[in-house]
Amino acid sequence: MLIIDAHLDLSMNALEWNRDLKQPVHAIREREKGMTDKPDRSRGTVSLPELRKGKIGLVVATQIARYVAKETNMPGWHSPEQAWAQTQGQYAWYKAMEDTGEMKQIKNRKELDAHIDLWNNESIDDNTKPVGFILSLEGADSLVNLSYLEKAYAYGLRALGPAHYGPGRYSPGTSLSGPLTKLGVELLKEMDQLNMILDVTHLTDEAFAQAMDLYKGPVWASHHNCRALVNYQRQLTDKQIKILIARDAVIGGVLDTWMLMNGWVRGKHNPKEEGINLEKLVDHYDHICQIAGNSNHIAIGSDLDGMFGTEQSPYDIDTIADLQNLNGLLQKRGYGAADIEKIFSGNWLRFLRKNWQ
């Protein structure tokens, strides 16, 4: 069954982790043996061959580069211009993948429908098909000013989340509180004019409420789980879930184990020992479905290899191709074939087709 994954940091892995994503995952792991510069070395789960193996034919792929002020101890770039340059290098990688036939950028309804038709054509070997990508910016710090949003839209940026972790030029993010900045309010107005997708992931509670009041265009939560099950500000409250459902949004379930277990400590806890498997994600799906009364608002936004690997993924994930195992798990929970098709791809497709008229 075709899968759409609405959050993968592919270019970050290619450039900052120096991973050749054209290679099989196990070849990348082998090359990283003995490396200690990052905690997830030799533990990656994502590559283009594995996406094809798992019939993950379309992804929302990110650009990401944080600006950090002098007093901030988080990693990032010392000026917005440097952050912008980093995102342009990431975009150049996507274009190089497109030039070699590995990937295909999707920017509108016509391209979307043609790409889905290709991936549903069983007479063509999936291993020969390009992985489609919709470009999203995670954290808006790299937009030097609003004219840069226009530049990004021109090359195909279609979704944007104003915040990431910590302080931000346009909005505070995960672990903080407070509203959108003045720049953030102006950003949302400009995004509305362009009919871009607002990604509420990483927004503070105050910024979320403000954005829902201000923004009139399409909204999704690309990679989010439920605060009622894992109690941390990074998760969606039931009230926020109800607001998103009322906006006909879709919420992509995320597989970072710290969003699947209360009290997870990186480097201390182990997914197998803690019993964190794909069933934990289904728990979050069930919770949202109970609130919605249907399965129309849940989907996949895995965030696999988003600065973590198998050490912080469900223990029944070896590579991203194992997302196909959700099929059997969902069936066991009573989800029918139509529900599973919605979760795997149908809900994202309905959202995009509706908003890309």
pLDDT at residue 103 tops 90? yes
Residue 11 belongs to domain spanning: 3-355
Runs of H (alpha helix) within the chain: 10-15, 25-31, 48-53, 80-99, 109-119, 146-154, 182-194, 205-214, 238-246, 271-274, 278-292, 326-332, 337-341, 347-355
CATH of the domain at 107: 3.20.20.140
73 has pLDDT over 90: no
Confidence category of residue 241, pLDDT binned at 50, 70, 90? very high
Burial environment of residue 355 by CB neighbours within 10 A (0 to 12, 13 to 18, 19 or more):
middle
The arithmetic mean of pLDDT across residues 295-309, rounded, is 98
**Cβ–Cβ < 8 Å for 260, 274:** no
Read off the pTM: 0.98
The pLDDT of residue 67 is 96
pLDDT at 71: 86
Which residue type, as a one-letter code, is found at position 227?
R
CA distance 84 to 178: 25
Query: To the nearest whole percent, how much of the chain has pLDDT over 70?
Result: 100
| Spatial distance between the Cα atoms of 234 and 221, rounded to a whole number of angstroms | 12
Q: Would you say residue 22 has pLDDT above 90?
A: yes
154 pLDDT higher than 90: yes
Residue 316 scores a pLDDT above 90: yes
Tokens of 289: 């479905």
pLDDT for 357 equals 84
- Whole-angstrom Cα distance, residue 252 to residue 168? 23
The total number of structural domains that make up the chain: 1
Query: What is the amino acid identity at position 219?
Result: V
Instruction: List the one residue out of 154, 178, 182, 148 whose CA is nearest residue 166.
Output: 178
Which residue in the block uniquely carries the two structure tokens 């109970």? 290
- Residue 83 has a CB neighbour count (10 Å cut-off) of 25
Band (pLDDT 50/70/90 cuts) for residue 307 is very high
Q: What is the pLDDT of residue 141?
A: 98
Please give the mean pLDDT across all residues of the chain. 97
Q: What distance in Å separates the CA atoms of residue 30 and residue 42, rounded to the nearest whole number?
A: 7
What does the pLDDT average to over 186-206? 98
Closest C-alpha to 98, from 111, 82, 110 = 111
Q: How far is CA 171 from the centre of its chain?
A: 18
**178-202 average pLDDT score:** 98
Residue 342 has pLDDT above 90, yes or no: yes
Confidence of residue 153 (pLDDT cuts 50, 70, 90): very high
CA distance 176 to 184: 16
Q: What are phi and psi of 155, to 5 degrees?
A: -95, 5
User: pLDDT at position 136, please?
Assistant: 98
Q: Note whether 11 and 2 are within 8 A (CB).
A: no
Note the pLDDT of residue 72. 85
> Is the model's pLDDT at 63 over the cut of 90?
yes
pLDDT computed for residue 13 by the predictor: 98
Residue 108: DSSP 8-state:
S
Residue 308 pLDDT grade (very low, low, confident, very high; cuts 50, 70, 90)? very high
